[in-house]
């Protein structure tokens, strides 16, 4: 079993999900309040709304680059505030530590790849280091999933090739990112997607929750 890895998404996979819809609504409201038209950020994920809106504001009003920057800083701060508030009330699903321990004992290297911030992950899972070999949170990477480079950074740190690794997550973007690297992708139904959405996004297996990994992978 040595030389294999399992990469986990965090929210919706190892802990209950954040209210991402509400966070996105708040961030979109801030873009709207800054004067950014809907079509600039329609269909984008949360951090990407801020990037697209800041770029639009800077291009539209070159003399007001500071305003665009202040808008972006305030929006990033809002995300952090929401994440840290949620983290203070959230703990891992019951039995997560036991299952991670079993997978680790079976010889898997374990990673976490999340769009959440590092401080929030460590608040929810303070003893993470006992189980997880490497965390790549939002503040640790230049490219966020579904960009596969987010996962590749984690694989590189673990020293495991994509073909020997499994991506586990509740999100379509987890499956998309894993599939882009030809990883085996396992969807879990404890978050934001149903079985069909996960399969359409590239899941090779779909489990009710993380506990099924013991049977599937050991
Ligand atoms: Mg998730």
Q: Name the residue ranges covered by the structural domains of the chain.
A: 5-16+91-217, 20-87
Task: Quote the ligand 1 centre to 12 CA distance (angstroms).
Answer: 4
Tell me, what DSSP letter sits at residue 17? Answer: P
> For residue range 13-58, what is the model confidence (pLDDT) as tens digits?
999 998 889 999 999 999 999 999 999 999 999 999 999 999 999 9
What is the model's pLDDT at position 1?
40
CA angle in degrees (0–180, nearest 5) for 44-146-69: 50
* pLDDT at residue 2 is higher than 70: no
Query: pTM of the predicted model, to two decimals?
Result: 0.93
Q: Are 87 and 124 in contact (CB under 8 A)?
A: yes
Please give the Cα distance from 167 to 182 (Å, whole number). 10
- Residue 166: which H helix or E strand, with range? strand 165-169
What is the model's pLDDT at position 140?
98
> For residue range 135-168, what is the model confidence (pLDDT) as tens digits?
999 999 999 999 999 999 999 999 999 999 999 9
Domain 5-16+91-217 has CATH 3.40.50.1000: yes
Task: Quote the ligand 1 centre to 59 CA distance (angstroms).
Answer: 33
């Amino acid at each position: 079993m040595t030389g294999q890895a399992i990469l986990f998404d965090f929210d919706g996979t190892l802990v209950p999900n954040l209210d991402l819809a509400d966070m996105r609504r708040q961030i979109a409201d801030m873009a709207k309040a800054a004067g950014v038209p809907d079509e600039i950020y329609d269909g984008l994920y949360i951090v990407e709304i801020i990037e697209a809106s800041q770029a639009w504001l800077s291009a539209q009003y070159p003399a007001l680059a500071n305003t665009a920057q202040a808008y972006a800083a305030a929006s990033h701060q809002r995300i952090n505030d929401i994440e840290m508030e949620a983290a203070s009330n959230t703990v891992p699903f019951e039995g997560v530590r036991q299952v991670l321990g079993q997978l680790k004992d079976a010889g898997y290297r374990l990673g976490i790849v999340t769009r959440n911030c590092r401080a929030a992950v460590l608040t929810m899972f303070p003893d993470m280091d006992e189980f997880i070999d490497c965390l790549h949170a939002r503040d640790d990477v230049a490219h966020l999933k579904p960009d596969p480079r987010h996962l590749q950074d984690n694989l590189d740190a673990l020293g495991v090739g994509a073909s020997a690794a499994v991506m586990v997550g509740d999100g379509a973007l987890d499956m998309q990112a894993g599939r882009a690297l030809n990883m085996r992708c396992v969807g879990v139904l404890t978050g934001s997607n149903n079985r069909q959405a996960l399969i359409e996004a590239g899941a090779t297996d779909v489990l009710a929750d993380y506990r099924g990994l013991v049977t599937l992978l050991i």
